[in-house]
Amino acid sequence: MSSLWSDEARYSRWRDVELAALEGMVEAGLAPREALQDCLARAGDFTPEDAAKIEEIERTTKHDVIAFLTFMEERVGPSARWLHLGMTSSDVLDTSLALTLRDALDLILKDVDRVMAAVEKRAFEHKHTLQMGRSHGIHAEPITFGHKLAIWYDELRRARTRLEHARDVIAVGKISGAVGTFAHLPPAVEEHVCRKLGLKPAPASSQVVQRDRHAEFFTALALLGSSIEKFAVEIRHLQRTEVREAEEPFTAGQKGSSAMPHKRNPILSENLTGLARLLRGYAVSAMEDVALWHERDISHSSVERVIGPDATILADFMLIRFARLMEDLRVYPEQMKKNLDLLGGVVNSQRLLLELARKGMDRQAAYVIVQRNAMKLYEEGLDFRQALLADEDLRKMMTPEEISDCFSPGYHTRHMDDVFQRVFGRSA
């Protein structure tokens, strides 16, 4: 990913845009074929020394594209005068930026596929691993750890769809000139350039490709980062000492604290949580770039020079880190079972409530009966099931066997096959 943003790579893409434009001019009868052949033969690749030379020229010109063209004139010779004919700097900059962002997203999509594969594998591994579901951080009803991961997989699939759409939106070039009117080059040249480089021509442009496209790109990355943060925060909670149902890998020789040798901290998940904040900030910066003066100003340029490489490299890093975390995540089913039993079965309260309603009791009256027995566990330490069996009002409606049946552990998760079929297209 980093190599996409190197100076040598940037100048190579500028060269590709300029040569494709000259080729389009030749086909349109606007430039001599000999000039194209000469430029193709002499343009060459770019070394770090070449990049340094261009930067040296820029210190005088105070203009990066003019510095590049000056270098090309020195390298190619007289035929270079046909390069950039009828074009403006943004024709080169925006078209080459589209190439870079498109290629960056291709790498990110591969990363997403790796993450999804890891989550899918662990989901099926723990499809029937019972775990306490929590709302407001409080025990709610049983789920399975595989169900939790199925939800993550479905969210990642939506993220992937957004990224694919962002790739389509950003893969747009323009060779329409200083204010986008094709005053000095016909649209056929732009069409040729985009076709050759694997882009689409912008249907209409000013001096620049419109920045709502770029805002969508960086927003898709920010949403991806927010999902990764969500997963990371969950892992952090599950690793808490009081919960300890899952844990990041802790390798031989790893240390958790300079002061406390016993510590095993969720540092990978905490790292991902922090990095997601950066991605969201880059999305805001990209949105600020949408509103430019008239046909264009340069206020977006400084922002994109930072957020382009930073956001794509960061997203790439986050995905690889999270994939490795999921592949090696430690899961503790026995601790999950222990936590399930922590409150003596009160998490089956809704099932009792519904059973009483089915037997004809008014819902609110049933709620009072179930709740008062549940509260005895919290306030008096009484066993929930024993409290229910001793409740005369409840015993009028349900037999001891029917009450006990409401505590069967598999009741809440009996539809996992249906959920997995929906999410993965298979149940096993």
Instruction: Tell me how crowded residue 49 is: count the other CB atoms within 10 A of its CB.
Output: 8
The whole-angstrom separation of Cα 28 and Cα 36 is 13
Cα–Cα distance, 327 to 120 (Å, whole number): 10
CA angle 344, 407, 388 (to 5 degrees): 65
- Catalytic: 165? no
CA distance 171 to 98: 5
Alpha-carbon distance of 231 to 152, in angstroms, equals: 7
| The pair of three-digit structure tokens given for residue 286, joined into one six-digit string | 């990209």
Query: At which residue do the structure tokens 């949408």 appear?
Result: 290
Kindly name the residue from 2, 63, 165, 257 that is annotated as catalytic: 257
Q: Are 174 and 180 in contact (CB under 8 A)?
A: yes
What are the residues whose beta carbons fall under 8 Å from the beta carbon of 222, sequence distance 6 or more? 279, 280, 282, 283
> Which helix (H) or strand (E) segment is 134 a member of?
strand 130-135
**Which one from 3, 136, 258, 262 is the annotated catalytic residue?**
136
User: Do 179 and 207 contact (CB within 8 A), yes or no?
Assistant: yes
Number of Cβ within a 10 Å radius of residue 244: 16
The residues carrying an active-site annotation are 136, 257
